[in-house]
Structure 1
Amino acid sequence: MVKQDRAVRTRNALIESAAELFDRDGYEHASLSTISTRAGVSSGALHFHFTSKAALADAVGQAAVQRLEQITQQQAGSALQMLIDATHVLVRTLDHDVVLRAGFGLGDSLEHVRTGAGLRGRWQEWVEGALARAEGEGALAVESSARDAATAVVAVTAGLETLGRQDEWWLSRAPLTRFWRLMLPRLAESSCLDGLVASGTSAGTP
């Protein structure tokens, strides 16, 4: 059991180290020797867990998928509020979770990540599903298009992720709250609008 626990810790340390370097330097420039050194692990131990840099990138992608699923697993309550809350949690998590950030970055290079590939696609699929549910609840304005709204939400969250790499303010609550305040009067059915919290609910935001 002790050896097994140590192996898990070593694997996780390598994933975190790889994510930091993939996020900072990009996949192509991150070397296995630097990853192992940063993790405090020997090269032999790294190759015991991962046969190649691509396999390590895949593990980072898998970990990122799990973290995204934790963000999107909430199903209770209004679908629109659930979506608002999830966008806030995602953006704030991107501020401090290097594995999630690296997962989105690696998803842009599909040849490097098998299981985690298409993290942005997974996020878009979830957003589309949440808006379809909101439409089914009668929460969307008649003139609103769930598909167009999904495109806007995904584009804004992706943009905030990119801008946040240069200035952390973009990953704070304020920019996304402003987006939702602008978006909701056009998107939501008028009778639902007063019940929606653009800044996210206390249960749904970090």
Structure 2
Amino acid sequence: MMVKQERAARTRQALIRAAAEVFTEEGFALASLATISRRAGVSRGALHFHFDNKKVLADAVERQAADVVARMTGEAEAAGDALDALVAATHALMSRLASDIVVRAGFELCGGPTRNTGAALRWQWQVWVEGTLDRAEREGLLAEGVSSARVAPAIVAATVGFEVLGARDPEWLSEERVARFWELMLPRLVAVAR
């Protein structure tokens, strides 16, 4: 029984990864289940055993990407104060977008016009950035005159911009590009005492 469960988990994961690759290459609308099952090395029947249709498969890709982002932001929060967490999570997110096809596809799927999912991953990131900046403000980490409500839209827009532009030009996701962004932003955000 355990061997069957492990094989089913591997098949499911192979399908999610193959779907992420095909969705990224062809887009959700043009991607076919036949191409995804071929890419995963499984039969169409095996695909349908795990996923009823393409929408359900895309939802699984988005959920897995959301889980990765939640773990990543949680790890960043454990690494230091709120501003340290924000910088660390931004670097981690861009690195994952560059290296993890499921995370990249999850973000691309949530913004696609044919999916109507409400941009769940981008919204998840926005909520986390806003909450982290609220925490930084409560902890007295922000410079005088800087409020989390005023700065959050700029940081969310810039980081989502990196994600969108990085889908076509990986340089936007580079550690150097993200570091330059924070070199520009942090002096305006950080309280003098820090």
When the two structures are superposed, what TM-score results if normalisation uses the length of structure 1? 0.88
Which is helix-richer, 1 or 2? Answer: 2
Conservation of the 8 A alpha-carbon contact between 1:14 and 1:39? yes
Please give the residue correspondences for 1:133-152 in structure 2 after superposition, counting only pairs within 5 Å. Answer: 133-152=135-154
Q: Equivalences for 1:37-186 in 2 at 5 Å?
A: 37-74=38-75, 75-76=77-78, 77-109=80-112, 112=115, 118-186=120-188
Q: Indicate the larger mover: 174-183 or 122-131.
A: 174-183
Task: Give the secondary-structure state (helix, strand or coil) at the position aligned to 2:47.
Answer: helix
Cα RMSD over matched residues? Answer: 1.6
Per the TM alignment, residue 145 of structure 1 is displaced from its structure 2 partner at its CA by 2.2
| SS class of match (1:140) | coil
Per-residue CA distance 1:48-70 (angstroms, 9 max, x = gap):
11111011011111101101111
- Show structure 1 runs of 5+ residues with no match: 193-206
Q: Which runs of 4+ in 1 moved over 4 A?
A: none
CA distance 1:33–1:160, shift in 2 (3 Å): same
What one-letter code is carried by the residue in structure 2 that aligns with 1:23? T
Deviation per residue, 1:110-139 (Å, 9 max, x gap)? 87476x951100100000010000001100
- What are structure 2's unaligned runs of at least 5 residues? none
1:127 touches 1:150 (CA, 8 Å); kept in 2? Answer: yes
1:187 paired residue number? 189
Return the letter of the residue paired with 2:124.
R
8 Å contact 2:24–2:108 — kept in the other structure? Answer: yes
Cα deviation for residue 97 of structure 1 reads 0.6
SS in 1 for 2:193: helix
Pairs aligned (count):
191
Identity %: 53
- 8 Å CA contact retained: 2:104, 2:167: no
Indicate whether 1:6 and 2:29 are aligned: no
Normalising by structure 2, we get a TM-score of 0.93
